[in-house]
C-alpha cells in the first residue's frame, strides 16, 4: 500500500521570519495527522530554521532544487552534500526550473542520479504545457520526460513523481481528477516498462496544479493519485493542514474493506 504524500512547495516565497511563523502556525496540527506523509519545501535559506522547528515531529523537509555536482566552482549552486544532512526530499525538474532556468531532461537526469547517490529522495516533476495539451501531445511529452529523466537510474524505490500540467499551475484551473488519474496511470505504466510491475505499483505519484482544500478530494480519491504537490495553498497554514487532513482521511477510508 502506498502512503499518500503531500508536499508544500513554497517556491520563492517567505523570508526566514515568515517561514518560521508559517511553520509555527501549522506544525502541531500537521504533526497530529497520521496516514499521510507531510513534507515542507521552503526556500534554501530557511531550511535550517524550519528543520529545527519540526525536529521531533512527523513532518519532513524538502529542498526545491539542487545542483548535480558535489562541490567546486559553481557559484550560487547548492550541492546534494549540503542538503543530505538537512532534508530527506528534493524537488527536481519543476516546470518553473525548466521554463526559466533552462533545465533539460538531461540535466534533470543528472540531478536524479546525484540525489539518489547521496540518499536524497527526489520528487521529480513532469507535465505538459497548454499548447502541447491542446495539440494532444500530453502522452508523448510526459512519457518522454520520464524516459529521458530516468535514463540509467537504477531504481525508483526512493523516488516520488509529481505530474504537474503547466496550464494548471498557479492558474486556479486544476486538471480534473479523472484527467490527472489517466496521465498518472500512464506514468505508472511507463515506469512498469522500465522497472517492472512491482516497483511501479509501489511508486508514489502526486498531482500538482491549483490544489486546494476544496478540490483535494477529487484527486486523492483517484486510484493512481498518491498525493499532491501544493504551491500557493501551502503558504496558508489552515488551508495546507486541511488539504493534508482530507488526503489522509479519504485515502484511509478507501482502503478499508467494506
State the residues that interact with ligand 13P by CB under 6 A. 9, 94, 164, 169-170, 208-211, 229-233
Instruction: Name which of 94 and 111 has its Cβ closer to ligand 13P.
Output: 94
Rounded to 5 degrees, what are φ and ψ at 117? -60, -30
Instruction: Name which of 13 and 88 has its Cβ closer to ligand 13P.
Output: 13
Q: Which candidate in 164, 218, 224, 239 is catalytic?
A: 164
Least distance (Å) from ligand 13P to the CB of residue 196?
Answer: 28
Instruction: Name which of 119 and 170 has its Cβ closer to ligand 13P.
Output: 170
Q: Please say if 164 is a catalytic residue.
A: yes
Least distance (Å) from ligand 13P to the CB of residue 42?
Answer: 13
Q: Would you say 181 and 224 are in contact if contact means Cβ atoms under 8 Å apart?
A: yes
Which residues, in sequence order, are bridge partners of residue 5?
37, 227
Least distance (Å) from ligand 13P to the CB of residue 123?
Answer: 9
Pairing of strands 59-63, 121-126: unpaired
Instruction: Name which of 200 and 211 has its Cβ closer to ligand 13P.
Output: 211
Q: Please say if 224 is a catalytic residue.
A: no
- Considering Cα of 155, then 153, then 115, then 216, what sign does the dihedral take? negative
Q: Which candidate in 94, 96, 218, 239 is catalytic?
A: 94
Which residue's Cβ has the minimum distance to ligand 13P? 231
Least distance (Å) from ligand 13P to the CB of residue 158?
Answer: 19
Least distance (Å) from ligand 13P to the CB of residue 127?
Answer: 9
Instruction: Name which of 195 and 208 has its Cβ closer to ligand 13P.
Output: 208
Q: Annotated active-site positions, please?
A: 94, 164
Amino acid at each position: 500500500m502506498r502512503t499518500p504524500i503531500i508536499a508544500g512547495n513554497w517556491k520563492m516565497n517567505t523570508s526566514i521570519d515568515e517561514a518560521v511563523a508559517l511553520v509555527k502556525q501549522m506544525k502541531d496540527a500537521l504533526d497530529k495527522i497520521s496516514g499521510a506523509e507531510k513534507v515542507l519545501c521552503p526556500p534554501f535559506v530557511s531550511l535550517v530554521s524550519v528543520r529545527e522547528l519540526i525536529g521531533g515531529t512527523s513532518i519532513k523537509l524538502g529542498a526545491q532544487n539542487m545542483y548535480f555536482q558535489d562541490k567546486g566552482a559553481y557559484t550560487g549552486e547548492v550541492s546534494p552534500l549540503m542538503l543530505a544532512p538537512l532534508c530527506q526530499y528534493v524537488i527536481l525538474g519543476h516546470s518553473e526550473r525548466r521554463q526559466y532556468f533552462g533545465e533539460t531532461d538531461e540535466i534533470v537526469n543528472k540531478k536524479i542520479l546525484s540525489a539518489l547517490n547521496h540518499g536524497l529522495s527526489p520528487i521529480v516533476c513532469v507535465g505538459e504545457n497548454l499548447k502541447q495539451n491542446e495539440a494532444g501531445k500530453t502522452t508523448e511529452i510526459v512519457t518522454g520526460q520520464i524516459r529521458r529523466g530516468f535514463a540509467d537510474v537504477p531504481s525508483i524505490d526512493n523516488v516520488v513523481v509529481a505530474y504537474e500540467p503547466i496550464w494548471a499551475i498557479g492558474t486556479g484551473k486544476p486538471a480534473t481528477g479523472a484527467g490527472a488519474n489517466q496521465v498518472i496511470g500512464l506514468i505508472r505504466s511507463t515506469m512498469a516498462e522500465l522497472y517492472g510491475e512491482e516497483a511501479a505499483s509501489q511508486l508514489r505519484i502526486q498531482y500538482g496544479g491549483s490544489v486546494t482544500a476544496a478540490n483535494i478530494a477529487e484527486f486523492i480519491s483517484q486510484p493512481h493519485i498518491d498525493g499532491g504537490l501544493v504551491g500557493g495553498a501551502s503558504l496558508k497554514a489552515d488551508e495546507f493542514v486541511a488539504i493534508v487532513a482530507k488526503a489522509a482521511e479519504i485515502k484511509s477510508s478507501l482502503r478499508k474493506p467494506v
